[in-house]
Structure 1
Amino acid sequence: MLAYFSKLFNGKGTEANRTEASMKKFLIVGLGNIGPKYAETRHNIGFKILDAFAQDQEIKWSTDKLGDIATTKIKGRPVILLKPNTYMNLSGKAVRFWMQKEKIGLENLLVVTDDLNLDFGTIRIKTKGSDGGHNGLKDIQDQLMTHGYKRFRFGIGDRFSKGKQIDYVLGEWDKEEQKDMPERLDISSKAIFSFISDGIAKTMNTYNGK
């Protein structure tokens, strides 16, 4: 299984193997920190979006190895939702474990995370990119040995003064953001559904910038 996993990551597997993997399961990962004190913080938007998606799909979470898991099927395609319980900086460990365990190809991975460089609620879905200084994305890149995985960035804005970035990221949503959040979560959930059902290109065209 380790050899198979390595081939998927490095693009060295046969076309049949890659096609087989893409026909199987999707892994949708929301990044965040566990515990009630982090639940409503900006850095936990990945968890919040996956909770909204799970609610829309009427599925429940259960605690498993390295995270909380929920499963469903969309158009016959098995989907695994993952909220790592490793804390943000070690997110890659959980992602790698579940990709390997379920034999999920890199093309079927989507990581949902916060982004300081986007205005609040703005969605930007990309097929690859740098970690942008985000510790969760950096650990995923290190664990998977590639930056070529799909990511769903949700804007949290950058309304903080010099030296206050950590306080801002780990701070809670303000009243205006809380008011707009249900609508942004609804659009985010629909974007994840689109990725699974319609593919990355159509999803980027439909939802980027919304």
Structure 2
Amino acid sequence: MYAVVGLGNPGEKYARTRHNVGHMLIDVLTARSGGTLKGHRATNTHAVGVRMGEERIILATSDSYMNTSGGPVKKLLDYYKVDPENLIVIHDDLDLPFGTLKLKRGGGEGGHNGLKSITSTTGTKSYIRLRFGIGRPPGGQDPADYVLRPFSSDERTDLPALLERGADAIEDVLAIGLDKATTRLHSH
């Protein structure tokens, strides 16, 4: 079994911000599956179990803030008995240009507090990540402010297609494995 978790902050205030691209992508995957995310008190997440091909998948978003997302992710993994090796985390990435999508297993957190929290609570960095590029803030804007702002109008135009491409990449990981999915995603 796999758990696919989209990182972000809870609440309407953050719903359309760059930091919540993980939540947005989980919404696309949930819609594709025909499922509905429901509050899951035991794990402090919104989650749904679905089938993607032969795999049983838990799609989830954390109900906690980004910096403390590790606790709910660990509870989700424990509740559903999912090995951290089968965790896929979708997150925003300042170090990639807007619209760039990258898959990888493990690595550093690149200053991303959500990843730091997950690594701390799971005790491993070897989970799979889908990095969604949001680019660097313009001028001297503080990165912390930038990630909490909505996408620009130009970015919003491209966002739906990018979210669909990200959902395709997650489905590819589950259907053909990380190596082949990475090759397919990175060759486009």
Aligned to 2:147: 169
CA, structure 1 residues 182+135, in 2 after alignment: closer, same or farther (shift >3 Å)?
A: same
CA, structure 1 residues 111+32, in 2 after alignment: closer, same or farther (shift >3 Å)?
A: same
Contact residue 33 and residue 52 of structure 2 kept, 8 A: no
Contact residue 33 and residue 51 of structure 2 kept, 8 A: no
Contact residue 123 and residue 209 of structure 1 kept, 8 A: no
Aligned to 1:120: 98
With 99-108 and 127-136 compared, the bigger mean Cα shift is at: 99-108
CA, structure 1 residues 209+141, in 2 after alignment: closer, same or farther (shift >3 Å)?
A: farther
Aligned to 2:11: 35
Matched, 1:46 2:43: no
Aligned to 1:187: 165
Among residues 62, 67, 71, which one is paired with 1:84 in the alignment?
62
TM-score (norm 2): 0.95
> What RMSD, in angstroms, separates the aligned Cα atoms of the two structures?
1.2
Aligned to 1:67: 45
With 94-103 and 134-143 compared, the bigger mean Cα shift is at: 94-103
Separation in 1, partners of 2:187, 2:157: 20
State the shift of 1:163 in Å: 4.8
Residue segments in structure 2 that go unaligned for 5+ positions in a row: none
Aligned to 1:58: 34
TM-score (norm 1): 0.85
Any idea what SS the aligned residue of 1:40 has? coil
State the shift of 1:160 in Å: 2.4
| Residues 130-180 of structure 1: CA deviation (Å, up to 9, x unaligned) | 111000000001001111111110000013232521111101011100100
Residue segments in structure 1 that go unaligned for 5+ positions in a row: 1-24
What is the identity percentage for the equivalent residue pairs of Structure 1 and Structure 2?
Answer: 35
State the shift of 1:209 in Å: 6.4
Contact residue 31 and residue 45 of structure 1 kept, 8 A: yes
Give the total of aligned pairs: 186
Aligned to 1:20: none
State the shift of 1:83 in Å: 0.2
